[in-house]
């Protein structure tokens, strides 16, 4: 379990907090990331919680490609980060597994697109729909400042996909390590 606390202090400085779709999130100057059920010691303006889970869409071949190419979080050069909370519509969640898979990959090439930015852009997905949170997913990205353009390209391409028609709320929070 991880908690992202939006506050006036924290180890990540907010460079920009932009509402892409739906209801905005209160502006904050900093973000604190608390892992492993640490107690929240920061009096944040908001807290978003999520958990990592098993793979939901990737096939064996896609999973093996991802594992071979991706790098972990916390690389010294990766001083830029982004937290992108999204919520999908009921229409998405009412689809069966094969329908969601087809939109996610065969139509939208979600994993294929993400893989084109590896290992530069590291990514970790947290789920939160099932625990009564306001978002369904919290995706955390880390990269070096030199990959800023690549990151814009990645999120821009994903937002043009068929999958993104089901995104009804999205906040894009860009961060810089202090």
Q: Which span sits near a second copy by CB under 8 A: 21-29, 89-97, 113-121, 153-161? A: 89-97
58 binds a second copy (CB under 8 A): yes
Sheet holding 80-88, edge to edge: 46-50, 2-7, 30-35, 12-21, 167-177, 80-88, 137-143, 122-127
CB of 52 to a second copy, least distance (A): 8
CA distance 141 to 82: 5
Q: Say if residues 177 and 11 touch (Cβ distance below 8 Å).
A: yes
What DSSP element (H or E) covers 155?
helix 148-159
Q: What are phi and psi of 171, to 5 degrees?
A: -120, 135
CB of 65 to a second copy, least distance (A): 11
Q: Indicate the residue among 41 and 94 with the shorter CB distance to a second copy.
A: 94
56 binds a second copy (CB under 8 A): yes
Give Cα separations from 159 to 19, 28, 100, 122, 162 (angstroms). 13, 24, 16, 18, 8
The interface with a second copy within residues 114-153 (CB under 8 A) comprises 127, 129-132
CB of 54 to a second copy, least distance (A): 5
Q: Which of 22, 62, 118, 168 binds a second copy (CB under 8 A)?
A: 62
Closest Cα to residue 164, out of 97, 113, 98? Answer: 113
CB of 33 to a second copy, least distance (A): 19
Closest Cα to residue 67, out of 107, 122, 105? Answer: 122
CB of 49 to a second copy, least distance (A): 11
51 binds a second copy (CB under 8 A): yes
Give the x-and-dash track for 92-121 against a second copy (CB under 8 A): -xxxxxxx-x--------------------
Interaction site with a second copy (CB under 8 A): 1, 51, 53-60, 62-63, 93-99, 101, 127, 129-132
């Amino acid at each position: 379990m991880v908690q992202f606390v939006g506050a006036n202090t924290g180890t990540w400085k907010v460079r920009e907090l932009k509402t892409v779709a739906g209801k905005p999130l209160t502006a904050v100057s900093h973000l604190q990331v608390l892992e492993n059920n640490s107690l929240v010691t920061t009096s944040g303006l908001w807290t978003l919680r999520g958990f990592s889970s098993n793979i939901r869409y990737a096939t064996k071949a896609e999973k093996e490609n991802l594992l071979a190419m991706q790098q972990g979080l916390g690389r010294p050069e990766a001083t830029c980060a982004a937290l992108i909370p999204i919520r999908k519509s009921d229409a998405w969640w009412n689809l069966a597994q094969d329908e969601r898979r087809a939109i996610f990959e065969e139509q939208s090439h979600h994993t294929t697109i993400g893989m084109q930015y590896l290992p530069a852009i590291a990514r970790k997905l947290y789920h939160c729909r099932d625990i009564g949170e306001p978002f369904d997913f919290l995706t955390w990205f880390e990269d070096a400042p030199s990959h800023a353009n690549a990151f814009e390209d990645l999120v821009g391409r994903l937002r043009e996909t068929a999958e993104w028609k089901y995104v009804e709320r999205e906040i894009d929070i860009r961060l810089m390590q202090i």
